[in-house]
Amino acid sequence: MFIGENPIHINAEKGSIAEIVLMPGDPLRAKYIAENFLTEAKEVCNLRNMLGYTGFYKGVRVSVIGSGMGMPSMGIYSWELFYYFNVKKIIRIGTCGVVSEEVEVPELILATSAYSESNFAYTFDNYDKHITYPSKDLNELIIKKSKELNYKLHVGDITTMDVFGPYIDYDRVLNRIPKNLNVIGEEMEAFALFHIASHFKREASCILTAVDSKFSDVVLSGEERQNSLNEMITLALEAIISE
């Protein structure tokens, strides 16, 4: 195995990334968070336009860095954050499709597990199960903060797909998921994040904003989408700075 002294994909200086990190998929959302939620924010990485920033939220040093789309991209960036920058906690903040009538657009979801048919974890370290888990302690903080903020938060299992759900008949996949799982949303990164975090014995969670649903024709306006994303961002920041 080849591991160099410096990361290949994150061109940040050592010490420039905080121990707690928010990871949206879109690097431009990282820029938005830095400009609108953090103080004294500075760009710390930009290789391949995967933007990352470090600043302060309520006096606590926080970084926000894009993950890109899909498990391979999330796997690369989370691995480098844990290994090279000694990151302790990561919360993925993303969007998802709803696969349960329990959840309406644009409500929030907290993942209690991520089920996937992917071989990502098996390729990584021979982990041959199809489910990975977030940090229970971090999830508990997120649930606690959601109540304090009076945000509606659905808590349940999600599925992490190798393909973009709306482009396929993903009912085929959903029908293969074990019936004991209460899958309420589908996305593309959390399974990998949870597995990499577990490998390093670090903490990771995933909060998602529901942006479309197989049970609804609701299409969010730009303002509605932004407001719902702001709730997710606020919840993640409040939780990740808590002890």
Catalytic residues: 212
**What three-state secondary structure class fits 73?**
helix
- How far is it, in rounded angstroms, from Cα 172 to Cα 53? 39
- How far is it, in rounded angstroms, from Cα 209 to Cα 127? 29
Tell me, what amino acid is at 212?
D
Under a CB-based contact definition with an 8 Å cutoff, are residues 19 and 89 in contact?
yes
Tell me, what amino acid is at 6?
N
Non-local CB neighbours of 62 within 8 Å, separated by 6+ positions: 18, 20, 21, 22, 38, 54, 55, 56, 237, 240, 241
